[in-house]
Structure 1
Amino acid sequence: MPIWKTIPLRLIALAQRYPGTIAAFGFASGVVSFFTVERHEAFARVIAAVMLVSWIWLMLERALRRRIERRFGWTIPIPVLRYGTQMIHQEGLFFVLPFLYTATTWNSGQALFTGLVGAAALVALVDPLYFRWLSTRRWVFLTYHTFTLFAVLLTALPLVLHIPTGNSYKLALGVAVLLSFPTLAELVPLEARWRKWAVVALMLALGSVGWLLRLWVPPATLWLTEVAVSTSMDSLNMQAGERLRTVTPAQMRDQGIYAYTSINAPLGLEEHIYHVWLHDGREVDRIALDIRGGRKEGYRAWTHKQNFPADARGRWQVKVVTDAGQMIGTLRFRVEGDAAPAP
């Protein structure tokens, strides 16, 4: 038998003899990804491509295995395939986790999404959960893989294509919705025509829900590196003055308030963001900013608000959001003291 045929057989036999080594390699590779985030663009491109190819493999797995068996005289055992997908899931999830962890606003619904990604990573590490519960239920397994792919694309697309976060969210969501078809088709068999329309309706509903919940999804490649609320700004050195947690109405009236943010963004990325000013939970102003990525210390930008309600006392927030509505972070301060005199 030619050597190019015997090598795969030897590798398969080795994997069957020592199956835990594949899972251990996937875990170690994932941990390395966690601590070497600076690989950024090149690694993101590889991970995204591998996730897409592995999804295609999952869809055509049975046909491809039969074709390989007819062509080469051997077949790939199912356990070996599952160890391979486990490694891919570990690598992908541990790649995106540090981005999401850094970008998440933890006192918001974003904590739920990041928690789900963390739970998915835990499932990929625990063999009994992954092999005895997840991989034996095909529709659950496909859902898990599609969710992992969605998280990977959210992180990889801005790094690889340098497209705004809003566009990357739309593209990642669109891919996830399209790839949900096989899962939904298993849940709703397609023998009758009305069931096909039911699957399409479910896909549209899934896309709508995903879009409505975008506020709960962190913009993985954007995060605040420095924030400040101040009554002064050194525009020459691009630094905020004294950082304040409490402001008096007189200070607001006489000097206005600066909301200073330094935002980390990937090299080559241009992003349109907003500072949304809220008073006691009610939006009172929305100011647009354009940022550019690549600065190690983050892109520094600020807004200066001088028009305030007659009684500005209470809780103030400045939410930093993308043009798609994803929240990058929040600045908070309170206005306390005597109200401004009536004009």
Structure 2
Amino acid sequence: MTRLRVPAPTAVRGCTLTGPLTPLPPRPTRIQRTSAFCKHWILRLVALAQRYPGVLALFGFVSGLISFFTVDRHEGFARVIAVVMLVSWLWLVVEKSVNRRVADRFGVALPTPVLRYVTQMIHQESLFFVLPFLYAATTWNSGQAIFTGLLGAAAIVALVDPLYYRWLARHHWVFLTYHTLTLFAVLLTAPPLLFNLRTGESYQLALGVAVVLAFPTLAGLVTLQTWWRRLAVIGLMAVLATGGWFARAWVPPATLRLSEAALSLQLNTRNPTAEKRLKEVSVSQLRSSGLYAFTAVAAPLGLKEHIYHVWLHNGREVDRIPIDIRGGRKEGYRAWTHKRNFPPNPAGRWEVRVITDAGQMIGVMRFDALAGTEP
């Protein structure tokens, strides 16, 4: 029988086998490759935004301006931007849980600094989007100037990184308050554009969401134990809701604005325009012909609003006349009231406030009633 000689394995100099061979790692799946690709580009976009921080704020402001000027003509851009604002805020609500699930499922997660910067970008976009609406709706010789000025300051904080990260983000309750205020402003503006909600309904929605979001902040401030802590937090939320409702006159109705307002002794009712705008009027003129209050209120197309002309004499309300308006006219919906019944002694300081059904002020007209001869 012929024996087969099997050659011994050839030794390779410098190599020593110390155990079993390690298998090659499995190739990434298509989903993992797609996730890594998206993460790569998100990080690049964030780095670019960090390099040019003013671009995002500028985009938000320009988009707000375009939305402000196109909403009267029912162009879709304003609603698209409003949808983007609401979707971005929905992302802020769910981003932690979504990022955690994506990391568990695909092994890819965005770093925490990136998520914080995305939050900052949404704050910038939101604040600069609502500012044109609020600026036009603000009655600057009233308490509304404080609210709009506060939002302007918040927009500057979102734009300046040292203020945003070193001061705002380090104080948890301050950051939550800032976050809630920004969302409150967005909910004042976006729902009337998207769903034709009345300003009162939009204010109630914004206030309700703000009170709910304030719960973590209030819970962190109350240090009581057991069930007293729950009662204290609920009481503080009730106080916040009540205070927010009574402060509504200081908050401008974001989607309503006076495009024209005048007081006059005569009015062309066929083509409503005030014949002569008055700042002073004699008591005899008031008693003989009364006074017209003419307003043109601009509102989004499809929006129907119930407003009032509230007449005040020396700070005391003497009359409240209801008006129904419809949105869509670039020049504003023209309406007027004619007041003929005045107090026995009408001399003094008068105001005609234009307010919504919810009590938010759209504008104010003032005049002095002088005893004696015509001014």
Residue matched to 2:56: 26
Write the deviation string for residues 133-176 of structure 1: whole angstroms up to 9, x where unpaired.
22233332222111101000001121111121111111110111
Please give the alpha-carbon distance, in whole angstroms, between the structure 1 residues aligned to 2:79 and 2:243. 29
Aligned-pair CA distance for 1:189:
6.1
Residue matched to 1:199: 233
Q: Which moved more, 1:136-145 or 1:212-221?
A: 136-145
Residue matched to 1:137: 171
Residue matched to 1:319: 353
Q: Which amino acid aligns with 1:35?
A: L
Residue matched to 1:47: 85
Write the deviation string for residues 273-312 of structure 1: whole angstroms up to 9, x where unpaired.
1101111111111111111111110000000011112221
Please give the alpha-carbon distance, in whole angstroms, between the structure 2 residues aligned to 1:190 and 1:294. 53
Name the SS for the 1:93 alignment partner. helix
Please give the alpha-carbon distance, in whole angstroms, between the structure 2 residues aligned to 1:315 and 1:213. 24
Residue matched to 1:10: 40
Please give the alpha-carbon distance, in whole angstroms, between the structure 2 residues aligned to 1:171 and 1:336. 44
TM-score (norm 2): 0.84
- The reply to whether residue 270 of structure 1 matches residue 304 of structure 2 is yes
Name the SS for the 1:244 alignment partner. coil
Residue matched to 1:291: 325
1:58-73 correspondence runs (5 A): 61=96, 63-73=97-107
Q: Which amino acid aligns with 2:239?
A: A
Name the SS for the 2:247 alignment partner. helix
- The reply to whether residue 280 of structure 1 matches residue 310 of structure 2 is no
Q: Which moved more, 1:9-18 or 1:273-282?
A: 9-18
Write the deviation string for residues 241-297 of structure 1: whole angstroms up to 9, x where unpaired.
111111112211111100000001111111111101111111111111111111110
1:1-343 correspondence runs (5 A): 1=28, 2=30, 3-14=33-44, 18=48, 20-21=50-51, 23-36=53-66, 37=68, 38=70, 39-57=77-95, 61=96, 63-188=97-222, 192-338=226-372
Q: Which amino acid aligns with 1:49?
A: V
Superposed structure 1 runs of 4+ greater than 6 Å apart: none
Name the SS for the 1:331 alignment partner. strand
CA contact (8 A) 1:101 1:114 kept: yes
Please give the alpha-carbon distance, in whole angstroms, between the structure 2 residues aligned to 1:241 and 1:105. 24
CA contact (8 A) 1:166 1:322 kept: yes
Q: CA RMSD in A?
A: 2.0
Please give the alpha-carbon distance, in whole angstroms, between the structure 2 residues aligned to 1:232 and 1:221. 30
User: Compared with structure 1, are the counterparts of its residues 290 and 193 closer, same or farther at alpha carbon in structure 2 (3 Å cutoff)?
Assistant: same
Aligned-pair CA distance for 1:239:
1.6
Please give the alpha-carbon distance, in whole angstroms, between the structure 1 residues aligned to 2:51 and 2:268. 56
TM-score (norm 1): 0.92
The number of aligned residues is 336
Unaligned runs of 5+ in 2: 1-27, 71-76
User: Compared with structure 1, are the counterparts of its residues 64 and 42 closer, same or farther at alpha carbon in structure 2 (3 Å cutoff)?
Assistant: closer
Please give the alpha-carbon distance, in whole angstroms, between the structure 1 residues aligned to 2:351 and 2:316. 9
Name the SS for the 1:328 alignment partner. strand
- Structure number with bigger Rg: 2
Q: Which moved more, 1:28-37 or 1:166-175?
A: 28-37
Please give the alpha-carbon distance, in whole angstroms, between the structure 2 residues aligned to 1:124 and 1:25. 13
Name the SS for the 1:120 alignment partner. helix
Please give the alpha-carbon distance, in whole angstroms, between the structure 2 residues aligned to 1:159 and 1:190. 43
**Percent identity, aligned pairs only?**
56
Please give the alpha-carbon distance, in whole angstroms, between the structure 1 residues aligned to 2:303 and 2:176. 32
